[in-house]
């Protein structure tokens, strides 16, 4: 379980706790949340706990009881060790951001069943990751609610191979986020707390800001192209504010299949853990009468240019998608630290895409180099931007 202390991690462990006769936790991994990971270790007794932060690893070792069966590992080497262990059958990849790529790729190369909740792995290294899945015989099951919904609506044979028999296109639904009805002028003054106040989902702050800017949907657009082997023109985005339909698949015969459910990630997690069976997830069944209505509209890429930038990165190919992701991570962090305005996020991304070379992502080193360069370019642009508009991004 990579990213066990985040929202996906805690939801996954909630589902596992309902099926202790079926699942055993071999390893839990987190960045630096010692208290939460300690509590999880005491409840699930994993063979290993991995902390990315050295000081956090030392603290966790000191706090585990002497009789504990859990050994604490550290850093990327620790992650690689647990995801490739012979005892491991399933890896939940839920580390947020670019940091999740190396361990996710290692799990795929080792032939594991990878429950993918780290969209950045495909955005940055889609070619490498899907190649690893094919060559090793690994199975990749999408956990993002949208891609999981598409997976559920695909033909059975298309679930086992990257085939799209009879599929015309896929329709990614987007809630529109907290700023769906805001004007550009209102978004200029938006605060981090406002951006993180998602109307339907409970998520981490970085993902919440991505949802508010529609970059989350842009990253999911890229992810859908890789997972389902679809050209960009066969993926559409539809704003659906109720978040009841999680995504749809349109077929050549005119049929549209949709997966509906309450907005709770445990549904997708349980589907991934149990596939091809279905498991009880703890999510209450959908009450269609109480839901009453389902609305749909087109996304406004003029107010939310991050979606356009993601589409352009797909069209450009190469390392452009990794550059787009890196610039977004830098910009979102700066916004959460109140160094720039919400509306500056796409400006940072666009500038970075224009000033970083687009290379062929032949290996992980090329992708990591592009990621590093993009972060440097974005950071320099941020420094200039801050000098212009002030530390809070307001004149």
Q: Which fold has domain 7-143?
A: Rossmann fold (3.40.50)
Please answer whether residues 111 and 83 qualify as being in contact, where contact means their C-beta atoms are separated by less than 8 angstroms.
Answer: no
Percent of the chain with pLDDT over 70: 96
Contacts of 254 (CB under 8 A, 6+ apart): none
Mean pLDDT, range 8-26, rounded to an integer:
97
The 10 Å Cβ neighbour count of residue 235 is 21
Domains in the chain: boundaries: 7-143, 144-305, 317-395
Q: Is the pLDDT of residue 248 over 70?
A: yes
Q: Is the pLDDT of residue 163 over 50?
A: no
Mean pLDDT, range 159-168, rounded to an integer:
63
Tokens 């590093």 appear where? Answer: 372
Q: Is the pLDDT of residue 299 over 70?
A: yes
Q: Is the pLDDT of residue 391 over 60?
A: no
Q: Is the pLDDT of residue 76 over 80?
A: yes
Q: Is the pLDDT of residue 165 over 80?
A: no
Q: So what's the pLDDT on residue 157?
A: 63
pLDDT confidence band for 160 (50 / 70 / 90): very low
* Of 353, 343, 347, 354, residue with least CA distance to 382: 347
Please answer whether residues 16 and 10 qualify as being in contact, where contact means their C-beta atoms are separated by less than 8 angstroms.
Answer: no
Q: Select 317-395's CATH number: 1.10.1740.10, 3.50.50.60, 1.10.3720.10, 3.20.20.30.
A: 1.10.1740.10
SS3 295: coil
Q: So what's the pLDDT on residue 164?
A: 56
Q: So what's the pLDDT on residue 283?
A: 97
Q: Is the pLDDT of residue 245 over 70?
A: yes
3-state helix, strand, coil in the chain (%, to 5): 50, 15, 35
- DSSP assignments along 270-294, one per residue: HHHHHTTS----SPPPP-HHHH---
pLDDT confidence band for 98 (50 / 70 / 90): confident
Q: So what's the pLDDT on residue 209?
A: 95
Beta strands 48-51 and 235-239: pairing type? unpaired
- DSSP assignments along 52-81, one per residue: SSHHHHHHHHHHS-TT--PEEEEHHHHHHH
Q: Is the pLDDT of residue 394 over 60?
A: no
Domains 7-143 and 317-395 share a fold: no
Q: So what's the pLDDT on residue 142?
A: 96
Q: Is the pLDDT of residue 162 over 70?
A: no
Q: So what's the pLDDT on residue 198?
A: 81
Q: So what's the pLDDT on residue 390?
A: 59
- Distance in angstroms (rounded) separating the CA atoms of residues 344 and 382: 9
Q: Is the pLDDT of residue 99 over 90?
A: no
Mean pLDDT, range 87-111, rounded to an integer:
94
264-290 pLDDT tens trace: 999 999 999 999 999 999 999 999 999
pLDDT confidence band for 386 (50 / 70 / 90): confident
173-216 pLDDT tens trace: 999 999 999 999 999 999 999 999 987 776 788 989 999 999 99
pLDDT confidence band for 262 (50 / 70 / 90): very high
**Structure tokens belonging to residue 181:** 């009805």
Stated pTM of the model: 0.90
Q: So what's the pLDDT on residue 203?
A: 75
């Amino acid at each position: 379980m990579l990213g066990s202390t985040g929202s996906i991690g805690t939801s996954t462990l909630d589902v596992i706790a309902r099926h202790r006769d079926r699942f055993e936790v071999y390893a839990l991994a987190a960045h630096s949340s010692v208290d939460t990971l300690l509590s999880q270790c005491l409840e699930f007794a994993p063979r290993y706990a991995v902390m990315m932060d050295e000081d956090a690893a030392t603290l966790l070792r000191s706090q585990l009881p002497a009789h504990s069966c859990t050994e604490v590992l550290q850093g990327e080497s620790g992650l690689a060790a647990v995801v490739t262990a012979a005892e491991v059958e399933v890896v939940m990849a839920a580390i947020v951001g670019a940091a999740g790529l190396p361990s996710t790729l290692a799990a795929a190369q080792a032939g594991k069943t990878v429950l993918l909740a780290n969209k950045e792995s495909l955005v940055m290294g889609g070619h490498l990751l899907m190649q690893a899945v094919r060559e090793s015989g690994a199975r990749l099951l999408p956990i993002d609610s949208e891609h999981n919904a598409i997976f559920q609506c695909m033909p059975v044979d298309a679930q086992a191979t990257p085939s799209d028999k009879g599929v015309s296109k896929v329709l990614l639904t987007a809630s529109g986020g907290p700023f769906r009805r805001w004007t550009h002028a209102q978004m200029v003054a938006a605060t981090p707390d406002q951006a993180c106040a998602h109307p339907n989902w409970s998520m981490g702050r970085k993902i919440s800001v991505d949802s508010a800017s529609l970059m989350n949907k842009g990253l999911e657009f890229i992810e859908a192209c890789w997972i389902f082997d679809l050209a960009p023109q066969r993926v559409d985005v539809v704003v659906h504010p109720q978040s009841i339909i999680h995504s749809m698949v349109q077929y050549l015969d005119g049929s549209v299949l949709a997966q509906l459910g309450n907005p709770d990630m445990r549904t997708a997690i349980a589907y991934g853990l149990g596939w091809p069976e279905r498991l009880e997830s703890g999510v209450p069944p959908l009450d269609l009468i109480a839901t009453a209505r389902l609305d749909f509209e087109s996304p406004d890429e003029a107010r939310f240019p991050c979606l356009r930038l993601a589409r352009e990165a797909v069209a450009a190919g190469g390392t452009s998608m990794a550059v787009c992701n890196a610039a977004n991570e830098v910009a979102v962090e700066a916004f959460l630290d109140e160094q720039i305005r919400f509306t500056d996020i796409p400006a940072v991304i666009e500038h970075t895409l224009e000033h970083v070379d687009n290379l062929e992502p032949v290996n992980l080193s090329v992708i990591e180099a592009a990621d590093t360069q993009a972060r440097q370019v974005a950071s320099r642009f941020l420094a200039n931007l801050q000098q212009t508009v002030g530390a809070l991004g307001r004149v």
